[in-house]
Chains A and B, each alone.
Chain A
């Protein structure tokens, strides 16, 4: 059975709950944490690879806990032709996937750090950040 990639987004209130433990224990899922950005008392994001028979059940449990769950069939790309290197996305990207190199002030995008939170999509004034399915 092939693993399923999902993105979780949760508010500061849930970041201390042992949700991963529950997924393993109660839903018998094999979990590979692809990316995680969790800080106490802050909003967090996580990308997981799930394998098992009870994936749907596990995802429903997460939703009941108030976690936003989305299948990760998407990836974020930067349209280099549109990007003006303004830099306004760099103070908003939660993982530092969009970052600025000083003193040249050039903006770089590191797709490996991106957790597909999609914040940059509506922040970028020229809409250079795009979702690729």
Chain B
């Protein structure tokens, strides 16, 4: 990419669009024009990595003119995931007060036969970390995977009995097809950027970022970099409420901004290091998803969760949006954070920033020491998602939706609160 265009990206990332590179603000196409092209099989769709290569070859303007939609993808453990299940009524009726699926508690304080199974919930008889580091072989994320794999899942519920709901207990089995509704609703997914986790202490630690060996023994990171959805739309110019997405193998929607959605542009010492902090709440019908793209995960010593596959299309409405979508692993940076002390102690700041290009090379240097890196987020699978989404759009099976409302952007200056106590 020519230098001027590169600088254009950075200025844009920091302050929102400024017409530094001439013509970037001009509208190239609208949602309805793109959908017309999709319907007639003429839309030009590329995965984010393909689009980067095109920009590197032909320059941004030509690439932005040619391509209508860029697809992104990520497949990683995403806490703050779960599913609403509506079991249907038994005869006689029961108002479930407590419910368990395969021994994992689901929150039933919603209605008579509705419950929410959270990805990180654990069985009540789990040894947890009493035999440190605990294994956490099964949890809510695994229940969701079993449901979506159409396996039989045990349901147990208890209650106190009322005149209208006399039944006090039930022990039965269900499958996803037998219950009325199964809706995946993940309050915080698709983290825009994430810490690269290291361990400065003298002992091995077990975290949600995996096992971290002492004295900077390894470094783990968790986004798909240049393929990662929210890294390609730093100002939330296209991804908003109602955006149709690839979710867990099926179709889903952006429901809201995610919890802890604090988008910003990283700018240590005035250097632009790409976006961070945005998140999405997503929703979709679990019944049409696939166990290939929703997998229960276990972090030794930490707990259970759910790996979620998400892919988001970015319509190239303007050259400015194309600029962002063309950001490469060299432009995007992750903060390196010590998980032995700084992270648990909630101490601000980070050790340094490293680019995704460096992270993906297999080694980074922190405090003068070269350390091996490994991802928690699978790049080949992220790529596969971006390509599946590209295929669905190219085939006319997936139309784009214009957000009914855009999400808060870095310009809104949202920031997190500290919990007192």
Contacts and interface: CB of A to CB of B under 8 A. Distances in A.
A105 B360 contact: yes
Nearest to B133: A122
B374 A91 contact: yes
B218 A86 contact: no
A86 B362 contact: no
Nearest to A81: B292
B298 interface: yes
Given A102-B360, A122-B300, A85 B137 contact: no
A126 B374 contact: no
A125 B376 contact: yes
B172 to A, nearest CB: 28
A100 interface: yes
A87 B378 contact: yes
Contacts of B133: 122
Contacts of B377: 86
A92 interface: yes
B391 interface: no
Contact of A92 (B77, B361, B362, B374): B374
Interface string A18-44: 000000000000000000000000000
B375 interface: yes
B375 A105 contact: yes
A116 to B, nearest CB: 18
A122 B376 CA distance: 14
A92 B378 CA distance: 16
B89 to A, nearest CB: 35
A104 B380 contact: yes
A69 interface: no
Contacts of B379: 85, 87, 104-105
Contacts of B361: 102
Interface in B212-234: 213, 218-220
B76 interface: yes
Given A86-B377, A102-B361, A102-B362, A92 B211 contact: yes
A125 B299 contact: yes
Interface in B351-388: 360-362, 372-381
Contacts of B75: 84
A85 B381 contact: yes
Given A125-B376, A127-B137, A91 B218 contact: yes
A101 to B, nearest CB: 10
Nearest to A86: B378
A84 B377 CA distance: 9
B132 to A, nearest CB: 12
B362 to A, nearest CB: 7
A125 B380 contact: no
A39 B348 CA distance: 38
A41 to B, nearest CB: 13
A42 to B, nearest CB: 12
B32 to A, nearest CB: 37
Interface of A: 82, 84-92, 100, 102-107, 122-123, 125-127
Given A100-B374, A105-B360, A127-B137, 5 more contacts: A84-B307, A86-B375, A87-B378, A92-B211, A122-B135
Closest 8 CB pairs of A and B: A91-B374, A105-B379, A125-B297, A91-B218, A86-B378, A122-B300, A85-B378, A91-B372
